[in-house]
Amino acid sequence: MNSPVRVVTCLLYAFITFCGVNAEGDDFKPIPPKAGSWVGPTTGEVWPNPQIRFRQNSFFVLQVDQFEFKLNNAAASSDIVNESVVRFKDRMFPGQAQRAREARQTRFRFQPPLNGRESTEFSYNVGQLDTIHVILESACGNCEKYPYMGMNETYEIVLNPDSSEEQFVVSSSVWGLLRGLESISQMVYISPENNYSYQINVTRVIDFPRFPHRGFMLDTARHYLSMNTILQTLDLMEMNKLNVLHWHIVDTESFPYQSTTFPDLSAKGAYDPYTHVYSQEDVRLIIESARVRGIRVMVEFDTPGHTQSWEKGQPGLLTECYDPTTERPNGRYGPMDPTKNEVFEFLTELYQEISEVFPEEYIHIGGDEVSTNCWRSNPFVNDFMNQWNITGDYKRLESYFIETLLVIVDKLPRNNIPVVWQEVFDNGDNISPETVVQVWKNWGIGWRNRMQAITTAGQPAILSAPYYLNYIKYGSDWTCIWAEFVNSINLIPRAWPRASAVAERLWSSRDTRNISEASSRLQEHECRMLGRGYPVSPVVGAGFCSVKWN
């Protein structure tokens, strides 16, 4: 590891919190009040904001039935790029938008922009754009099959009317081409002033992400999420250049993952073993849909806590709680029982299966919110602790469990880079230098101190604490909405485009901070996602989208 902060990244939670604007509209409501939308949308702006963009007022016109992406040999050899160009053309000309009509030709004038600023010339039609070249500068289009941590997502776009060969998107990786093609799809807009034609401005873009890990977390245990909802989420992640789906697949409430090694886990632990489960085929479809969008799927099987549903299909995993007065089991269960070799034998087999199913090299093993009450009450646990000379030190017992599991994960043939919640670090567990610590607590100034402590200790880190999205602001109060109240019906409208704001903080330059400018781009992006068929909700106040929505 070159630096302890090289993987200091940000993770966006869909299942925990949803952070909206003031319901009273104080942030965007015009004062004094006036007729019309609170925020006017931009046209053809890219979200997240590119690192470098030169845009002129001059524009090309596009005809739906004549436009094409033309791939060079390397790009054509990539299954990912070949599949993507169909998807991105559909996004350029979405079904909900009006069909383009042939624009009236006007005179052309091209001048380079000054100092990276938008040209101040009048808008001119520079002609019809029929082809954008897709150039992969790599000798092997299929060398990179799966996205990975630190993949190259840099791209360049040139739309220059001086030559038919100077309309292209270029990258040295398929992942960069995906990001560039998404940007091109967003640069196309409908012009009411020009007979409702499809247009795209003369532009040059040089773009790359600020952080290599830009994640979105889905919790499919508190509420089962339909396959369609997950696949739509992957689409929206791609549209916002997020590249990690953190799949919190199981938890205390339900175990929807259908294990081939331990089928009873879902048969007895899912809400419904027939309708509310993810089969191996479902998992493969999600991984494949993510792969072709340049999105990693990092799965989480949280242990030793958050595991009540596991006990139903695998009796004996959890610690029995004892009544202190009768000194007998009281029928309740706590975390996994760290005193049983059988528990670790089970985890070895389960994680072996997980490593074979999920190709992502990082695997999240949890380690958060472990209640020690049942351990304290259980005489067998206390006898075990006496034998190990850790009497009364239940945090040390927790560390023993995590450290044993980390050894199991380390021996996996792949998926052997562990991710843990911050309690593992806070407890002083013995973890390897490559173990990633995810910070989710200590809101306010506290998370900064924890991040500094973790990275100073040499551990890579994922930052989640300031990006919880289930806080909706009403006046000066905050209301917390946990996953118990998020399902397939309301996930997308609650998460988007609020998640877009965080996506921009993770992709764009740290200097992208102008809220007024961003609000107009976000209004366009909201309407863009709505026009593409996704039921996103408004976040910048009163207004409308020119979209026919049924």
- Catalytic positions: 369
Please, where are the H alpha helices in 305-363? 308-313, 341-357
> How is residue 296 written in tokens?
């990693």
d(CA 209, CA 504) in angstroms, rounded, equals 9
d(CA 207, CA 546) in angstroms, rounded, equals 29
Please state the separation of Cα 196 from the chain's center in Å. Answer: 34
Residue 239 contacts residue 182 (beta carbons within 8 Å): yes
d(CA 310, CA 251) in angstroms, rounded, equals 8
> How is residue 106 written in tokens?
């006007």
Residue 100 contacts residue 194 (beta carbons within 8 Å): no
Helix, strand, or coil here: 287? helix
> How is residue 381 written in tokens?
């646990």
Residue 365 contacts residue 408 (beta carbons within 8 Å): no
Which residues partner with 247 through β-bridges? 218, 299
Amino acid at 231: L
> How is residue 54 written in tokens?
């030169």
d(CA 97, CA 342) in angstroms, rounded, equals 59
d(CA 266, CA 513) in angstroms, rounded, equals 46
Which residues partner with 473 through β-bridges? 478
Residue 419: phi and psi, rounded to 5, are -120, 135
